[in-house]
Amino acid sequence: MLKKQMTTLIRFCTVGIGNTLIDFCVFFLLTSLGVPYLFAQVCSYTAGIANSYIWNRIWTFEVKKKADRKEMVGFIIVNIAASGITFLLLYTLQKAGLSLLISKLIATIGGMVINFIGNRLWVFREPGKMHCQCHNKNILK
C-alpha cells in the first residue's frame, strides 16, 4: 500500500508541476502586461484548474467511475480553499516586502499542500474507505 501512496504522491507532484508552469506563465505574462498581481493570481490559478482536474482524476488518483456533481463540487471547493490560501499568502508576503518571485513560490507551495490533502482525502478517495494519513492506514467507514 505504501508503494501505491508514493506513486500517487509522485503523480500528484508531476501534475502539480504542469499546473504550476501554467500558473506561473499566465501570472508573469499578465503582470508583465501591467495587470495587478492579485487579479493576475486569480486568472493564473484558474488557468491551471481544468488541467489539474483532468490529469489528477484520470492519472493521479485513477478514478474509474464517471464524474458526478458531488466530485466536481468537491474539487471546486478544494481549489477555492487552496486558491484562498495562495491568495492570502501572496498578499501577506508581498506586504512583508519579499520579492514577487519568492512570494509566489511560497504561496504556491502552501496552496499545493491544501490541494493534495483535500483531493486525496475527500474528492478522489477510494469508495468505502477513509484515508487516515496520520497513522498511514486505511480505515473502513
- On average, the pLDDT of the chain sits at 87
Q: CA 66, CA 71: separation in Å to the nearest integer?
A: 10
**Per-residue model confidence as pLDDT tens digits over 87-125:** 999 999 999 999 999 999 999 899 989 999 999 899 988
pTM to 2 decimal places: 0.69
Q: CA 120, CA 131: separation in Å to the nearest integer?
A: 8
Question: Cell for 85?
Answer: 490560501
Give the model's pLDDT for residue 48.
87
